[in-house]
Amino acid sequence: SFYRWSAVDTAYVDHNIERLKKAAKEKTAHIEYLPFVRHRYDVEKYKKNVALNAIKNVQLELLKRFIEVCEEYDLSYCVFYGTLLGTIRHKGFVPWDDDVDVLMPRIDYDRLLQVSEEAFDKPYFLQTPEKDPECFYGGYSKLRNGNTTGLETRNEGKKCNQGIWIDIMPLDRIPEDEEEREKQQKEILFYQRLLWKKTYPDQRVLWEMDWQKEAYFEEISRVFEREELCQRLHDAMVKEVKEAASEETAKVAVLARYWREKSCPQYCKKDFEFLIKRKFETLDVYVPVGYEACLEQEYGKDYAVYPCEADRKPHHQAHFDVTKSYVDYIGKTEYNDLGN
């Protein structure tokens, strides 16, 4: 009913409003009433945002290339988070968003990392914690277009690829036992924090704690080589999990995101048992068969309703330029000469 209502011609609706007002006045002239005002879910103005649409076009091309690689190497994926919401609600991008997120089963995700160098030619670059040591996002990867610019504040002055990107995250099994699950999350959080401070020693990045404790993590991070921390984080996320009592109780989660002190959101494994195709702009993309349950988990039962206008804003705070390479902004370096 929401989609049928939103598709109605606005002029027709306004005409009916006036008819209702007129009828109400004639029949109940002695009764004071409030005006009937229709709330307008106007999204057309976002289609006229040239700068935002240019960013989306680059991200759409990145998503297209990612899908081609998945098909070539027989890898499974599905869109998720805001991209899943946009696919279901808008058949494309959320009009005011500048983000693309995809999930992959852990086995397929690790396989993608193995074949990335042969699978992605310039200007594409699969950025991982291991391959690009001067940036970190929690443990997942980004597919970037090196001919463009997507500069985030924390990476200012860093010798890492800073082209416009899409996020690629692994989906991991998690323990059924709550105590084991909490223990795993604490271990993951510990190594994520060490990698944050190993990567950004001079920046305030662990906002959930006071600066003295953050300094303590920075001090500990010096003891480890970055490669060792990346391996320990990976091992903590892929710990062997006992089979759940049933498929109904089996859970999965995106452990590679940095959840700080929050509990990691859990999803039913059965919701990812099958993938189905849906339209996303000009592409056909996969969504989990239980996409409704996933969207309710993320955005609540009213996920189909648009947020108020004040909350319609891009996801990232970054400097974007689709016409120039990030190299033009951070200067020529030996790192960039290597082709990253």
Those residues whose C-beta lies under 8 Å from the C-beta of residue 181, and which sit 6 or more positions away, are 174, 175
Whether 95 and 311 have beta carbons less than 8 Å apart is answered as no
pLDDT of residue 12: 66
Torsion of CA 115, 117, 119, 124, to 10 degrees: 140
pLDDT of residue 333: 45
Those residues whose C-beta lies under 8 Å from the C-beta of residue 316, and which sit 6 or more positions away, are 98, 99, 150, 152
pLDDT at 15 over 70: yes
pLDDT tens per residue across span 219-235 = 999 999 999 999 999 99
Per-residue pLDDT band for 318 (boundaries 50, 70, 90) equals confident
pLDDT tens per residue across span 107-162 = 999 999 999 999 999 999 999 999 999 999 999 999 999 999 999 988 988 889 99
pLDDT at 30 over 60: no
Mean of the pLDDT values across residues 4-16?
64
Whether 142 and 116 have beta carbons less than 8 Å apart is answered as no
Record the tokens describing residue 166, joined without a space.
């899409």
pLDDT of residue 70: 98
Per-residue pLDDT band for 297 (boundaries 50, 70, 90) equals very high
β-strand partners of 320: 150
> For the chain, what is the mean pLDDT?
87
pLDDT tens per residue across span 259-275 = 987 888 999 999 999 99
For the chain, how long is the longest CA-to-CA vector? 82
Those residues whose C-beta lies under 8 Å from the C-beta of residue 250, and which sit 6 or more positions away, are 173, 176, 243, 244, 268, 269, 270
Record the tokens describing residue 57, joined without a space.
């076009």
Fill in the DSSP letter of residue 268.
E
pLDDT tens per residue across span 77-104 = 999 999 999 999 999 999 988 899 999 9
For residue 246, which amino acid is it?
Answer: S
Per-residue pLDDT band for 339 (boundaries 50, 70, 90) equals very low
β-strand partners of 141: 168
pLDDT of residue 11: 67
What value, to the nearest 5°, has the Cα angle with vertex 263 and ends 131 and 184? 60
For the chain, the domains span 1-40, 41-337
pLDDT at 37 over 60: no
pLDDT of residue 245: 57
* Residue ranges in 169-279 assigned as alpha helix (H): 178-199, 211-221, 226-237
What is the rounded end-to-end Cα distance, in angstroms, of the chain?
49
pLDDT at 251 over 80: yes
Q: At what angle do helices 291-299 and 81-90 cross, to 10 degrees?
A: 120
Task: Quote the CA–CA distance of 226 and 208 in Å, as a whole number.
Answer: 23
From 138, 146, 46, 25, select the one nearest 90 (Cα to Cα). 46
β-strand partners of 151: 319
